[in-house]
Structure 1
């Protein structure tokens, strides 16, 4: 028995120090009014949660932005990862397949800040590379990151381009694990490529799709670096998402207790969305 505890102790200690301890601290901080500048903490109970949910109109605007970001990022990321160009075609061996997989996966391992800085310069007004290319074909592009109607779309697209390679690799691994006998048998019965994909390939990808959907949704609510570097939450708070709002409250305005309450609310939102996705996917699989 002692040997078993010794074997699990490193993992258990790490769990207590790096997960359970900070989680308990956040619960405590969320019930206090603690200012980092004064280093004074006053117990206020659930007042922070009351202020967030009932007295702060900015919170619901931030939640709306986060939901819009997730609704744009998750479907686009998954569809692009599963498209023929990224997953279906590249799961078959052909000349140069390793090169193309590397090209699509390279943004995943690129520094997020460096990636955001490059795209920030590319998406500038008339001097940006994107608008200069559009001008060659007679299109007058907007100032992508300074117009509220375009800033969110620009951030979503650049985030998708950066992270789609990871989901592409997961889909490729799942596709290559599907026995080719199923596809060949269906083609012998006269099934078209679309029918093979819809009736055989897509159902067999259900477990991988669930994992990708959950991870991408969680990642969409945790996005911070892109917003921080590219827009700073602007323009007109058009890209102010929940993770960046928590950072502002905690490290810009030094309202640690309020930021902790926001973090717990975000945790509950992400947990609820995850449970809904898992439940719906299990029903589909059944």
Structure 2
């Protein structure tokens, strides 16, 4: 009887892959498009730039020679223009980041409650974000011209003589910062709006019942709950301020007197105007390290403040 049962029951072989291994393979298959894209479009170019930064490569002659850290030494120790460019980039970031965040938060607070036309105003303030950056810069370049510019003509009607905004070193940087803030403030406004709408109204109602004023509610309830969103916005805006290129290229070209020559535009000049790809790659790596360091500092400060 036992032999007959064994003849009827087929021999079951163990599966080639265990259930855990199959689940792992399926997971890797799902994430493989993103992972492959990360390797091709991020790590690949990053390692390429790291290698190019160690060479002296002229784009015209197509001759390259390995020079080690000579490009970094030239930038950090021998080239006085580099530190001028870094200073301009820091000034641009210091001027843009607080102004952008403060204006975005103010707009979000004003547009967070429903009222007639709120969707229209949200659309108006967000529209510059999706506008072509080059077209935006061209329009503002005409608006900020000397006596013939629209801005100065408006100031002249109230008896104020406006400067030549884009031709005076002290005013050119301020003009570029303000136009950039107006262009990108809508994005941060939307992020703050989403964070404000996610805050339960029960907190505000409870504080109001305790007799807290509107300013106290914002300082003690709303602002602390916006801290994670504020960190994200600060990091994104800081990185964007160091990457600015289109406004500088179209409005000032780095002038006047190198007053708006920021790091991203300086890298473009070295690589595609002077065709020194190796030196431009070294500058790009330095900018990468600067942005990474600033991001880590902001995250550490946020974590320290949350403790």
1:38 aligns with 2:61: yes
User: Alignment partner for residue 39 of structure 2, among 13, 16, 22?
Assistant: 16
1:2 aligns with 2:57: no
Hey, what's the Cα distance between the residues in 1 that align with 2:54 and 2:98? 37
- Aligned partner of 1:268 in structure 2 is 289
Superposed displacement of residue 5, structure 1: 2.8
Q: Deviations over 1:40-71 (max 9, x none)?
A: 10000000000000000000000000000000
TM-score, scaled to structure 2: 0.92
The more displaced of 1-10 and 232-241 is: 1-10
Is there any run of 5+ residues in structure 1 with no aligned partner, and where? none
Superposed displacement of residue 15, structure 1: 1.0
- Aligned partner of 1:77 in structure 2 is 100
Hey, what's the Cα distance between the residues in 2 that align with 1:7 and 1:285? 35
* Moved >4 Å (runs of 4+): none
- Aligned partner of 2:111 in structure 1 is 90
- Aligned partner of 1:205 in structure 2 is 226
- Aligned partner of 2:215 in structure 1 is 194
- Aligned partner of 1:185 in structure 2 is 206
Hey, what's the Cα distance between the residues in 1 that align with 2:94 and 2:221? 27
- Aligned partner of 1:283 in structure 2 is 304
User: Alignment partner for residue 195 of structure 2, among 174, 184, 196?
Assistant: 174
Question: Aligned-pair RMSD on alpha carbons?
Answer: 0.7
**What pairs with 1:216-227 in structure 2 (closer than 5 Å)?**
216-227=237-248
**Matched pairs, number:** 284
Hey, what's the Cα distance between the residues in 2 that align with 1:172 and 1:8? 31
- Aligned partner of 2:131 in structure 1 is 110
Q: Deviations over 1:81-140 (max 9, x none)?
A: 111xx1112000111000000000000000000000000000000000000000000000
Superposed displacement of residue 273, structure 1: 0.4
Superposed displacement of residue 8, structure 1: 2.1
Is there any run of 5+ residues in structure 2 with no aligned partner, and where? 1-23
Whichever of the two has the greater Rg, that structure is: 2
